[in-house]
């Protein structure tokens, strides 16, 4: 799954710097309509005003729980991607993924779906009729230059369950110290995991100290090394932190998403569903997409089960490559 971005200003606005401790900043989400008037809203925390990437993670949308009865659910028509991997993780519901490599797959809780766009792909996502509610996160990983021109492909794997102190970790991509590695291809060192901590419980989570990390709180309350994190906020932890003491002060189970990785050193241009390195890259991707939107193209292939999305107009200014400030 890889949600089509319908707005071109992608940064979350509310960004609180933390003066001391391992948590360097907390970002509030930005509400974004997804896929037009028949689709749902999402909460976006990456990219934000302070950061373009966390490791190679460059995009984080958080949605639901959204009741599906009586609604259109998720209806994201075929749309393109370049230069990235999409990572789909669901707490509840099911989504049918179709892409132009010929893959049709069901995105379900407990398994990770990883689509490598490489030089180009198109795909659609539609929630299934048996989904009572839809609730999950959609993330993108920026591909390093040596990997961004590869042929598109799709991979899936089951998450692995680990009990740590009084909490639980579901590792769904990459690796964490002592917890092994998930068998899907990635092109930089990174981690993605769901963490669950019961009311009043504690967990000390061991990290790769060379990496930067962030925790998105899906529900409940968490204190991370004393910094209070509220529902839907994203806490950023810079490199040099070998472990995190996490406490749930609330009266319900807290659930969060941990992401992280080696700091991404390359500058990227990210616009709509494309990642390139220059403005000219993006113009070329858009031109090829629009030229083949009804009949397909060598770069993006073809899907014919529903009409594809048109790309928005290019902005009136030159897109500039960006790295973390």
State the DSSP string of 17-43: EPSSSS--EEE--EEEE-SSTTS-EEE
Distance in Å from the first CA to the final CA of the chain? 29
How confident is the model at residue 37, as a pLDDT? 43
Task: Among 3.40.50.620, 2.60.120.10, 2.60.120.470, 3.90.550.10, name the CATH number for the domain at 15-261.
Answer: 2.60.120.10
β 190-197/254-261 pair status: antiparallel
Structural Rg of the chain based on CA atoms:
19
β 153-158/227-229 pair status: unpaired
Half-sphere exposure of 152 (CA within 13 A, CB side): 24
How confident is the model at residue 69, as a pLDDT? 72
Within its chain, how far is the Cα of 167 from the centroid?
A: 23
Decide: helix, strand or coil at residue 157: strand
Segments of the chain scoring below 70 in pLDDT: 1-13, 19, 34-39, 70-72, 325
Decide: helix, strand or coil at residue 98: strand
Count, residues in the chain: 325
How confident is the model at residue 129, as a pLDDT? 80
How confident is the model at residue 33, as a pLDDT? 81
How confident is the model at residue 13, as a pLDDT? 60
Q: Residue 27 contacts by C-beta under 8 Å, 6 or more apart in sequence?
A: 12, 14, 15, 16, 45, 46, 48, 49, 50, 233, 234, 236
How confident is the model at residue 10, as a pLDDT? 53
How confident is the model at residue 150, as a pLDDT? 98
How confident is the model at residue 255, as a pLDDT? 98
């Amino acid at each position: 799954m890889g949600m089509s971005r319908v707005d071109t200003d992608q940064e979350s606005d509310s960004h609180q710097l933390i003066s001391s401790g391992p948590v360097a900043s907390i970002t509030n989400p930005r509400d974004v309509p997804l896929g037009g008037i028949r689709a749902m809203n999402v909460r976006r925390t990456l990219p934000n005003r302070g950061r373009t990437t966390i490791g190679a993670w460059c995009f984080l949308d958080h949605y639901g729980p959204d009741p599906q009865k009586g609604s259109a659910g998720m209806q994201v028509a075929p749309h393109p991607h370049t230069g990235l991997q999409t990572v789909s993780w669901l707490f509840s519901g099911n989504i049918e993924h179709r892409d132009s490599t010929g893959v049709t797959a069901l995105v379900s809780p407990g398994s990770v779906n990883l689509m490598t766009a490489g030089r180009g792909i198109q795909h659609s996502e539609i929630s299934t009729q048996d989904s009572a509610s839809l609730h999950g996160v959609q993330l993108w990983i920026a591909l390093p230059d040596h990997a961004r021109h590869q042929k598109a492909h799709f991979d899936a794997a089951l998450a692995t369950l680990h009990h740590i102190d009084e909490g639980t970790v579901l590792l769904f991509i990459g690796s964490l110290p002592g917890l092994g590695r998930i068998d899907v291809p990635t092109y930089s060192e990174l981690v993605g995991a769901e963490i669950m901590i019961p009311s009043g419980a504690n967990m000390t989570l061991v990290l790769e100290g060379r990496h930067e990390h962030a925790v998105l709180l899906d529900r409940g309350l968490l204190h991370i090394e004393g910094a209070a994190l509220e529902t839907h906020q994203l806490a950023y932890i810079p490199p040099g932190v070998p472990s995190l003491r996490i406490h749930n002060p609330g009266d319900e189970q807290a659930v969060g998403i941990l992401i992280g990785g080696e700091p991404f050193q390359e500058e990227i241009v990210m616009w709509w569903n494309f990642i390139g390195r220059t403005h000219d890259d993006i113009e070329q991707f858009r031109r090829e997409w629009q030229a083949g939107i009804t009949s397909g193209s060598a770069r993006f292939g073809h899907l014919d089960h529903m009409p594809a999305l048109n790309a928005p107009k290019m902005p009136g200014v030159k897109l500039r490559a960006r790295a973390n400030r």
